[in-house]
């Protein structure tokens, strides 16, 4: 079974704390999310494969190392978009795909409304990104769609998760590594993470 890693880092924790505060406005919420995404990307990319390449520096020839696999970032719309730019700053050659899902407020079931991916997903390291891992329904559905499109090497990057969501992903997709910035306590009766940070999409886009 793949692993779950909670990326404990004082900078990540500090920024996440700003996001959690109910009085933090859209601008600060988005900026902190963007900065956390960059910090998380550094850790999530720690084991990316590299290959030797012969290069010539101004001083002569040597062997350097370059990333050997294509990276594809797949934000789950909408809220996943908030993590995209921060990761792309560290992996600017990454291609980007999208899965559009919304969670029915009554049943908490995810509904797919959009999917668009780059070619040759089977050869890529795919990062599915979303701030919230609650019931895990959205992450499971996004990973399912990616696998149907050929993705074989998938990691899930979320900001805040709970055990329910982690267990759901592990049960359906035991091959997927999960990275979180925080593991929170529980889900409330409406499927919201407690203490969490509220509705990530609404706070990023100012829709409430």
Contact partner, 192, from ligand PRP, ligand URA, none, Cβ < 5-8 Å per class: ligand URA
Site for ligand URA in 137-196 (CB under 6 A): 192-193, 196
Two tokens at 98? 């999208």
Query: Can you point out the beta strands (E) in 36-176?
Result: 50-57, 60-67, 71-77, 95-96, 98-103, 110-116, 125-133, 153-161
Task: Give the C-alpha separation, 191 to 1, whole Å.
Answer: 26
Site for ligand PRP in 158-177 (CB under 6 A): 165
Instruction: Quickly list H helices, 81-120.
Output: 81-90
Q: How far is the CB of 196 from ligand URA (least distance, A)?
A: 4
Site for ligand PRP in 104-133 (CB under 6 A): 108, 110, 130-133
Q: Please select the residue that binds ligand URA; options are 7, 134, 140, 142, rule is CB under 6 A.
A: 134
By CB under 6 A, tell whether 84 contacts ligand PRP. Answer: no
By CB under 6 A, tell whether 75 contacts ligand PRP. Answer: no
Pick between residue 91 and residue 200 the one whose CB is nearest to ligand PRP: 200
Pick between residue 54 and residue 105 the one whose CB is nearest to ligand PRP: 105
By CB under 6 A, tell whether 199 contacts ligand URA. Answer: yes
Distance of CA 106 to the CA centre of its chain: 25
Residue with tokens 């990454």: 94
Contact in structure between 63 and 18 (CB atoms under 8 Å): no
Contact in structure between 200 and 206 (CB atoms under 8 Å): no
Contact partner, 110, from ligand URA, ligand PRP, none, Cβ < 5-8 Å per class: ligand PRP
Contact in structure between 83 and 130 (CB atoms under 8 Å): yes
Task: Give the C-alpha separation, 89 to 45, whole Å.
Answer: 13
Q: Which parts of this chain interact with ligand PRP (CB under 6 A)? A: 76, 78-79, 101-103, 108, 110, 130-139, 165, 191, 200-201
Q: Give the binding site for ligand URA (CB under 6 A).
A: 132, 134, 192-193, 196, 199-201
């Amino acid at each position: 079974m793949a692993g779950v890693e909670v990326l404990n880092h004082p900078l990540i924790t500090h920024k996440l704390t700003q996001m959690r505060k109910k009085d933090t406005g859209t601008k600060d919420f988005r900026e902190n999310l963007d900065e956390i995404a960059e910090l998380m990307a550094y850790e999530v990319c720690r084991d990316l494969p590299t290959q030797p390449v012969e290069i010539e520096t101004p001083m002569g020839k040597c062997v350097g190392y370059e990333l050997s696999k294509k990276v594809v970032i797949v934000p789950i719309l909408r809220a996943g978009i908030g993590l995209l730019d921060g990761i792309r700053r560290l992996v600017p050659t990454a291609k980007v795909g999208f899965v559009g899902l919304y969670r029915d407020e009554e049943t908490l079931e995810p509904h797919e409304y959009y999917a668009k991916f780059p070619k040759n997903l089977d050869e890529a390291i795919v990062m599915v990104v979303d701030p919230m891992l609650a019931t895990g329904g959205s992450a499971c559905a996004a990973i399912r769609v990616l696998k149907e499109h050929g993705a074989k090497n998938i990691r899930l990057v979320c900001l805040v998760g709970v055990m329910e969501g982690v267990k759901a992903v592990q049960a359906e997709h035991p091959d997927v590594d999960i990275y979180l910035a925080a593991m929170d306590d529980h889900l409330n009766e409406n499927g919201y993470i407690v203490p969490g940070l509220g509705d990530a999409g609404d706070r990023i886009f100012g829709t409430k």
